[in-house]
A and B are shown apart, each in its own frame.
Chain A
Amino acid sequence: KNEVEQSPQNLTAQEGEFITINCSYSVGISALHWLQQHPGGGIVSLFMLSSGKKKHGRLIATINIQEKHSSLHITASHPRDSAVYICAVASNQGAQKLVFGQGTRLTINP
């Protein structure tokens, strides 16, 4: 069983729609990261959170530590949001390495 599971694996939506990507994990963590990977391959950190909720522009990330679950929301989605969104967790033991989910491929059509 994967330590980090994301759903859905693929998501296609129309511009303007509200998007939700989910992440569940099975290990103890010190923090959870949401990352964005564009077609060229580069990875950008969107959020790091260990409790509650964070907001940046149209992006909102929430985490429920008790349920070991996090969600990434995109409001008023736009074609430029099309990318792969990756959930990754930092272990609460050792060197803060990240364990990655398989990613969610998001496509926003105009």
Chain B
Amino acid sequence: EPEVTQTPSHQVTQMGQEVILRCVPISNHLYFYWYRQILGQKVEFLVSFYNNEISEKSEIFDDQFSVERPDGSNFTLKIRSTKLEDSAMYFCASIRDSNYEQYFGPGTRLTVT
């Protein structure tokens, strides 16, 4: 069964460093999402991406964040200058069309020290 993959599974970085989290959505999917979950809290929406552009973003998704789909398969989330409060599990998700269930990747645990 096709699945969403994410790399790395765990990333440790120092405050102020740039990180890139990578996702490979399911190949025929059209809508892509990033969510995050701070330890002990609920999952929060960050950004959605469709037709090679951001379709919606949350208040969390400020100028420090960016997304890209550079080559038609990878979908990346970049945090330019990480802060301690960026420590969280980041999930990528994709759907084939607007009326289909979302498939989640296994997540990347980001730890900012």
Interface residues of A (CB under 8 A from B): 30-31, 33, 35, 40-45, 48, 86, 88, 94-103
Contacts and interface: CB of A to CB of B under 8 A. Distances in A.
A96 B95 contact: yes
B56 A95 contact: yes
Contact of B89 (A41, A44, A100): A41
Contact of A42 (B33, B42, B56, B107): B107
Interface stretch (B17-25, B79-87, B97-105): B97-105
Interface residues of B, number: 27
Given A33-B102, A86-B43, A88-B43, A97 B107 contact: no
20 contacts: A33-B101, A35-B104, A41-B37, A41-B89, A41-B109, A42-B106, A43-B91, A43-B104, A45-B104, A86-B42, A95-B48, A96-B95, A96-B98, A97-B45, A97-B48, A97-B56, A98-B33, A100-B35, A101-B42, A102-B42
Contacts, number: 61
* Majority DSSP secondary structure for residues of B touching A: strand
Q: Tell me whether chain A's interface is mostly helix, strand or loop, or mixed.
A: strand
A100 B58 CA distance: 14
B55 interface: yes
Q: Which 8 A-B pairs have the closest CB atoms?
A: A95-B48, A95-B55, A48-B101, A43-B104, A95-B56, A100-B43, A97-B45, A102-B42
B109 A98 contact: no
Contacts of B103: 45
Nearest to A103: B42
Nearest to B41: A102
A44 B104 contact: yes
